[in-house]
Amino acid sequence: MKLKFDGFIIALIAMIILAYIYPNVVEFLDGKFLDGIISVGVALVFFFYGLKLSFDEVKQGMKNWKLHLSVQFFTFGLFPLLVLLFRPLVHTETQEQFWLSFYFLAALPSTVTSSVVMVSIAKGNVPAAIFNASISGLIGVAVTPLLMHFFLEVGEVNVFGELYLGLLFEVILPVILGLLIQPYWGKWAHKYGKALSNFDKGVVLLIVYSSFSESFLNDIFNTIGTTYLATLFISVIVLFFTVYLIILLLVRYVLKFNREDRISALFCGSKKSLTHGSVFSKFLFANNPKLGLFILPLMIYHAFQIFVVTIIAQRLGNQKDERMLTNK
C-alpha cells in the first residue's frame, strides 16, 4: 500500500520554524502589513469557496437528509459534547487554556477538499461528501463563534459586534459574491481548482506564521513544558479515535447506513478544517498573544487525521475493488 506524501504538513512545520527564527516580520508597520495581506487572502479564499459551490450538487445532495443531519450533528454536537465532559476538571489558568484550545477544535466545521478526496478513494458516497463538506463550512460561520462565546473571554472584543463584523466582510460577503458569480465563473474555478486549493493553503500558512510569531515574541512557549505538549499530542490522538469509534458504532448499528453512506459519515463527521480554524482564530482570539497555543491542537489533529484517514480510505477502497473482482 503506497501512501501519498503531504507536503502541506511539512510546510506548516516550516512556518513554525520560520516564525521562531524570524518573528519580527509580523511587527512591520505595526502589524498592519501582514494583517492586511491575510485579510485580503481570507476574503479571496471564501470568494473562491463560494465560486466552487454548485447549486445543482447542493440541491441533489439535500435528498439524503438523514445522512446530512447525522454528519452535522457529529461535527457540531458530538465533538463539543465530548470536550465539555472534561470542563469540570479545569481548575487552573493553564488547564483552562489547554481545554479551550480543544473546545475550539471541537467547535470547527469539517474539511472540504480532503473529506471529498478520502471518500472518493474509499469508494463512498461522493455527492453526499461534497454536500456535507460544503454546508459544514457555511454552518460553521454562524455556529462556531456561538459555541465559543460561552467560554471565551473576549476582553474589549464584542463577540456579536467586531467579531461578526469581521466575519461579515472577510467571510460571509465574499462567499455570497462567489455564489452570485458562480453561474459565470464556476467552470473556471473548477478548472483551476488545484491552483485555488494551493492559494487556500498559502493563506493558512501565513496565518500560522503570524500566530506563532506573536507567541514567540511574547515568549509564550517558554511558559509550558514538555508534559503539556506530550499531553496535548496524546489527547489529540485519543479524541480522534474516540470520535471515529462512536461515529462508526452509530452509523453501523443505530442509523444502519449502507456502506457508501457509512464512509461519508465517518470521514466528514470526524474531520476538522484547518482553513476555517485558522481564519476563525484570527477573530476569536484577536490580539491574544497565546494564539499559537490555541491553534496547536488543530494543526496536530489536521496532520493526524490526514495520515490515519488516508490509510483507512485506501484499505476500504481496496476491499471494494476486491469484492467487485470476486463478483465478476
pTM of the model: 0.82
Instruction: List pLDDT tens digits, range 6-20.
Output: 677 788 888 889 988
* Cα(19)–Cα(12) distance, integer angstroms: 11
* Cα(164)–Cα(142) distance, integer angstroms: 9
Instruction: List pLDDT tens digits, range 97-123.
Output: 999 999 999 999 998 777 777 888 888
| pLDDT of 275 higher than 70 | yes
* Cα(151)–Cα(322) distance, integer angstroms: 49
Higher pLDDT, 247 or 324: 247
> What is the mean pLDDT of the segment spanning 266-291?
85
Please report the pLDDT score of residue 241 as a whole number: 96
Element (DSSP H or E) covering residue 23: none
> What is the mean pLDDT of the segment spanning 276-286?
83
| pLDDT of 148 higher than 80 | yes
* Cα(306)–Cα(111) distance, integer angstroms: 11
Percentage of the chain lying above the pLDDT 70 cut: 88
